């Protein structure tokens, strides 16, 4: 019996020692790819990352769904080896070859072996994904982080990706387009007299959850001339939905209620009108509750689509300033510029 214990203990100790020992020394290693020159880029966490200098041939893989529209609109389908999709149907409609790329996991879970098998030159993940960065580093793949939670970050993300993937021209064209649209929106918003400005809020996935004052949706409301009613309301974390409770929403009582399309809702849009407890709210009385389009490509998700979300909000709140025709033109221009295609209202999920 004693021998048995010794044998079992010995095996465990051997396994442990072998594993630890195995991490310490080096053998004869042959690089997978010829050692290339590198450049250093600063990612959106402020990390300095060494990436291949031959940026025009840099291949990329990502598990972060937000990154996919960026890669798609930069038009480098041959170099995207793996991507994660929030909505594949949209890219299918766009006939974008990115739809045929591989999969190395989800925003939550990176499949490390699949990443190794894909072996991209660069792996892109979310700024808070420290564990994924560690995995990529262990595999010798540079990990670059990206964040696009506010308009300024979207512009920065394009700039960084342009440099990283050697498509600076296209990235700059996109940045110029977005900056131009933002300037146009600012000009339109400046035309709205202060006394005509209306209050608005954006609801999250629950009826008790609203976009905090530092969130994209609130910034969109304010930029298009709306008055946000969530001053001082913030989520548990920076740029995060705030669970303020239904009673607080009643107390805020804005003129307009927008509902996000970036999350799965725990309620239906009809609930605002069928549930009598909501009937006292100004927005409900005036039937001014709107879900931000669209069923294919969310206009309030982190990414370039926020421009359309802004025009949509402005059209809802100030239809004289941003008319239906103007909105339709902007939508067509946007999809044409980014994806080389326009969509019908039915495809988008919004009738102009």
* Binding residues vs another protein (CB under 8 A): 1, 3-5, 7-9, 11-13, 15-16, 18-23, 25-32, 103, 105-114, 116-117, 119, 126, 128, 130-131, 134-135, 138-140, 205, 236-237, 240-241, 243, 263-264
Q: Which is nearer to another protein, 12 or 324 (CB)?
A: 12
CB of 22 to another protein, least distance (A): 5
CB of 4 to another protein, least distance (A): 5
Number of alpha carbons in the 13 Å side-chain half-sphere of residue 294: 25
Q: Which is nearer to another protein, 5 or 287 (CB)?
A: 5
With tokens 């298009």, the residue in question is 224
Closest approach of another protein to the CB of residue 192, in Å: 33
Please choose, from the candidates 102, 105, 97, the residue with its C-alpha nearest in 3D space to the C-alpha of residue 118. Answer: 102
CB of 236 to another protein, least distance (A): 6
Conformation bin of residue 307: beta by default, left when phi > 0, alpha when psi is -120 to 50 = alpha
What distances in angstroms separate CA 219 from CA 19, 255, 300, 307, one per listed residue?
51, 17, 11, 12
CA distances in angstroms from 278 to 260, 264, 268, listed in the order given: 18, 21, 13
Partnered with residue 40 across adjacent β-strands are 50
Q: For residues 27 and 98, give the distance between their C-alpha atoms in angstroms, rounded to a whole number.
A: 38
Shortest separation between residue 87's beta carbon and another protein, angstroms: 14
- Please say which residue, 32 or 195, places its beta carbon nearer to another protein: 32
Nearer residue to another protein within complex by CB, 18 or 190: 18
Distances 183 to 47, 128, 320, 328, 329 between C-alpha atoms, Å: 31, 31, 19, 18, 17
Nearer CB in complex with another protein: 28/344: 28
With 0-12 CB in 10 A as exposed, 13-18 as middle and 19+ as buried, what is 127? middle
CB of 10 to another protein, least distance (A): 9
Minimum distance from residue 307 beta carbon to another protein (Å): 22
For residues 186 and 266, which CB has a smaller minimum distance to another protein in the complex? 266
CA pair distance 83, 105, nearest whole angstrom? 9
Q: How many CA atoms lie within 13 A of 155 on its CB side?
A: 12
Nearer to another protein, 223 or 248 (CB): 248
């Amino acid at each position: 019996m004693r021998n048995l214990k010794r044998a079992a203990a010995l095996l465990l100790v051997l396994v442990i020692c072998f594993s630890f020992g195995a991490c310490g020394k080096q053998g004869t290693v042959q690089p997978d790819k010829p050692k290339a020159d590198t450049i250093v880029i600063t990612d959106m966490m402020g990390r300095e990352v060494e990436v291949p200098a031959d940026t025009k041939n840099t291949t990329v893989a990502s598990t972060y769904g937000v990154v996919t529209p960026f890669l798609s609109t930069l038009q480098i389908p041959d170099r995207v080896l793996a991507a994660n999709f929030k909505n594949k149907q949209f890219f299918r409609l766009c006939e974008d070859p990115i739809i045929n790329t591989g999969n190395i996991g989800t925003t939550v879970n990176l499949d490390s072996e699949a990443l190794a098998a894909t072996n991209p030159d660069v792996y892109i993940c979310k700024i808070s994904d420290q564990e994924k960065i560690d995995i990529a580093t262990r595999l010798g793949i540079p990990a670059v982080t990206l964040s696009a939670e506010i308009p300024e970050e979207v512009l920065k993300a394009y700039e960084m990706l342009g440099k990283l993937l050697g498509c600076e021209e296209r990235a700059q064209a996109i940045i110029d387009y977005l900056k131009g649209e933002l300037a146009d929106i600012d000009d339109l918003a400046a035309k709205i007299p202060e006394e005509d400005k209306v209050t608005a809020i954006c609801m999250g996935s629950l009826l008790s959850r609203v976009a905090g004052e530092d969130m994209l949706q609130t910034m969109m409301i304010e930029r298009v001339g709306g008055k946000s009613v969530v001053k001082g309301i913030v989520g548990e974390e920076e740029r995060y939905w705030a669970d303020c409770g239904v009673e607080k929403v009643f107390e805020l009582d804005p003129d307009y209620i927008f509902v996000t399309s970036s999350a799965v809702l725990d309620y239906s849009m009809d609930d605002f009108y069928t549930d009598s407890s909501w009937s006292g709210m100004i927005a409900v009385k005036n039937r001014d509750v709107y879900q931000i389009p669209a069923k294919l490509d969310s206009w309030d998700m982190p990414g370039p689509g926020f421009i359309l979300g802004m025009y949509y909000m402005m059209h809802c709140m100030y239809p004289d300033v941003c008319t239906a025709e103007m909105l339709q033109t902007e939508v067509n221009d946007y999809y044409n510029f980014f994806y080389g295609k326009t969509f019908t209202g039915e495809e988008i999920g919004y009738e102009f």
